[in-house]
Amino acid sequence: MSRLLIVEDEPAIQNGIMAMIPDLNLPLQIVGACFNGKSALESLETLKPDIVLTDIKMPGMNGLELIQKSREVMPSIEYIILSGYSDFEYVRTAMQYGVNDYILKPFTYQEFREVMKKVCEKVENKKMYNYRRYIQELLFNNHPEKNKEAEVPGKYCCHYLALLCLGAFSVRSVDFITPDYTVWNAPEIEKRINDKMGQSGQCCVLDAKVTNEKIVFISVTDESVMHVKRFVNEASNYAKELDMPLTIALSNPFEDIEQLNKIHHEARINLSNRIVLGKSSVIIPEDTAPIENYVAINSQQRKSIHELLGNENLAGVIDQFLLLAEEWKKARLPQVICEFSAKYLVSEIYNRYDFLQKLYLLEDLLSKVEQVVCSSAGFGDFKEGIAGLMRDIEEDVVRSKVNLNVHEVVERIYQYICQHYTEAVSFEQLSRKFGYHASYISNTFTGIKGISPMKLMTNLRIAKAREMLADSKWPLKEIAAMTGYNDVNYFSRIFKEVVGVSPKQYRKNIRQGDVDKI
């Protein structure tokens, strides 16, 4: 509503204007009427008009002097000049003071209404602009300066804050998803929602830091939930129109808009914790119990993944991920859990291959996971994107094998045996991983290292067994199992062949201090 001050020294004209204003059907409120410029100037700070409709020729202080002096006090006021044809030179002077509108006397109803409508729209647009800027300051600045020209445009009992997110949520200020701007733009959304809410409320729609999100500040005339339902119903239409899931995070009703920064921060946390990839939903404060990140992969599934990685079966790991992803989709797990679990899988792959650590930083790979997630308009995009990233890693693994020369292969097998000698190592499978025949690699290994792979493994196992026999009371059967032998008799025979005495005799000699027999 625009506040109007009328300044006219002829009572008949002043009364006629005052009688005409209600019939214009415009957002105008008469806050005062004065008969000269001096009294009008004195009343400005009290009446705080948005528009001053003033005659030019008046006793004491004319309209031009009023405009000139009032600019120093309240520069934001819009002025409309009432002028006769003989006063047009005064109008030219008024234009120099920034007055853009005038009405020539005598005037018709239609002429008067057109000018008043134009100025009202200008005032309301200016108010909305100032108000929107102030809301932005409150949202993104903990201690904004109070804007004297910013006020809630209307009388409302409370407010809501809503965050709209098309597709995936992102904490980065990067546009991963770019919806059709002709549909998904703040002015268009604001107009549609305001038209739907009617006189019961008003919203201000602001751009967020990324294009697939919008911030909606809603003011309502009462606490009826119907106002919020109208907003949600209208906003939800964008999911169908843009063929993307839409998540709406709503705040509780509040009165103090100075708390917007805190409320916005809480709403973003709720959105990031609760948004589900590929599903439209409304998040309300009652749903916002804290969520702890966890890996949505149970112990049996992890064991299976580790076995696949141990056999360098990355294709199997990818298949396992695709099955897991379907479970996550069915369980409607939040985006944050899906992302956390995908990062776990990629980390496990990264830690399995030493050469990947030379090719990438782990942070770079995890950043790629995040990019896939944040670019996902639906769950299918997420699933295929993560699988595609894993396939890229698989190609790197294949290329690394092709590029390895035989000396590098021997060194890798040597390191593998040194780290896994207590396990059931199949040299044939180990050779096949690097694309070589087992007998060729065995002979080459022996030539380079001066010891055969099997002899190296046996020596490492027996050395470990000697340590355990000397430093523990473990039964022979358990020592055999912990050094890679399932058969204790076979272990004892191999031990005696290498050391010269049986494990039992070796332990006895250690305890008796008979060093010569060890």
Q: Within a domain: residue 143?
A: no
Tell me, yes or no, whether 419 and 398 share the same domain: no
The predicted model gives 63-72 an average pLDDT of 89
pLDDT value at residue 86:
60
Cα separation, 488 vs 474, whole angstroms: 13
In this prediction, residue 404 carries a pLDDT of: 66
Looking at the structure, do residues 249 and 339 belong to the same domain, yes or no? Answer: no
pLDDT class of 77 with cuts at 50, 70, 90? very high
513 pLDDT above the threshold of 60: yes
End-to-end CA distance of the chain: 102
141 Cβ contact list (under 8 Å, min separation 6) = 261
**pLDDT tens for each residue of 392-450:** 998 888 777 666 677 888 888 899 899 999 988 777 777 767 767 788 888 989 999 99
Report pLDDT for 144: 57
Strands 201-207 and 158-166, by their bridges, are: unpaired
Asked if residue 7 and residue 105 are part of one domain, the reply reads: yes
For residue range 154-168, what is the model confidence (pLDDT) as tens digits? 578 899 999 999 999
**Residue 449 CB contacts under 8 Å (≥ 6 apart), including other chains:** 410, 414, 456
Q: What is the pLDDT of residues 465-510, one digit of tens each?
A: 999 998 878 899 999 999 999 899 999 999 999 999 999 999 988 8
Please indicate, yes or no, whether residues 85 and 197 belong to a single structural domain of this protein. no
pLDDT band at 183, cuts 50/70/90? very high
pLDDT at 222 over 90: no
Would you state the pLDDT for residue 406? 78
Q: Are residues 270 and 330 in the same domain?
A: no
At 244, which amino acid appears? M
138 lies in some domain: no
pLDDT, tens only, 352-404: 887 787 778 899 999 999 999 999 999 999 999 999 999 999 888 877 766 66
| Domain annotation covers residue 498 | yes
Judged against a pLDDT cut of 70, whether residue 35 lies above it is answered with yes
Output the CA angle 58-62-65, nearest 5 degrees: 170
Query: How much is the pLDDT for 483?
Result: 92
Chosen domain end from 287, 308, 329: 287
- What digits encode the pLDDT tens for the residues 36-56? 999 999 999 999 999 999 998
Give the predicted TM-score (pTM) of the model.
0.67
* Helix orientation angle between 488-499 and 453-471, rounded to the nearest 10 degrees: 100
Q: Is the pLDDT at 289 greater than 70, yes or no?
A: no
Same domain? 313 vs 325: yes
What CATH number has the domain bearing residue 260?
3.30.70.260
- Predicted confidence at residue 150, as pLDDT, reads 54
Q: Pick the more confident residue, 214 or 147.
A: 214
The H or E element that residue 104 is part of is: strand 101-105
Whether 153 maps to a domain, the answer reads: no
pLDDT digits (tens, 9 = 90+) for 107-155: 889 999 999 999 999 998 888 888 888 888 888 876 656 555 555 555 7
Q: Is residue 140 part of a domain?
A: no
DSSP single-letter state for residue 169: -
- For 148-234, where are the E strands, in sequence order? 158-166, 201-207, 213-220
User: Looking at residue 94, what is its pLDDT?
Assistant: 74
Q: Quick check: 224 pLDDT over 80? A: yes
Mean pLDDT of the chain: 88
Domain that holds residue 331: 299-403
- In a domain, residue 134? The reply is no
Residue 214's pLDDT is: 97
Residue-wise pLDDT for 293-350, tens only, equals 789 999 999 999 999 998 889 999 999 999 999 999 999 999 999 999 999 999 999 9
91, part of any domain: yes
pLDDT, tens digit (0-9, with 9 covering 90-100), for 255-286: 988 899 999 999 999 999 999 999 999 998 86
Rg (CA), the chain: 40
Q: Provide the b/e sequence for 109-131 (b: ≥16 CB within 10 Å).
A: eeebbebbeebbebbbeebeebb
Residue 290: its pLDDT value, please? 57
* 273 and 242 share one domain: yes
333 domain residue, yes or no: yes
Among 403, 424, 459, residue at a domain's last position: 403
Same domain, 399 and 426: no
Average of pLDDT values for 91-106? 77
| Structure confidence at residue 350 (pLDDT) | 92
Whole-angstrom CA distances from 126 to 149, 252, 514 are 9, 29, 100
Quick one: 260 and 348 in the same domain? Answer: no
Q: Between vectors from CA 111 to CA 110 and to CA 115, what angle results, nearest 5°?
A: 115
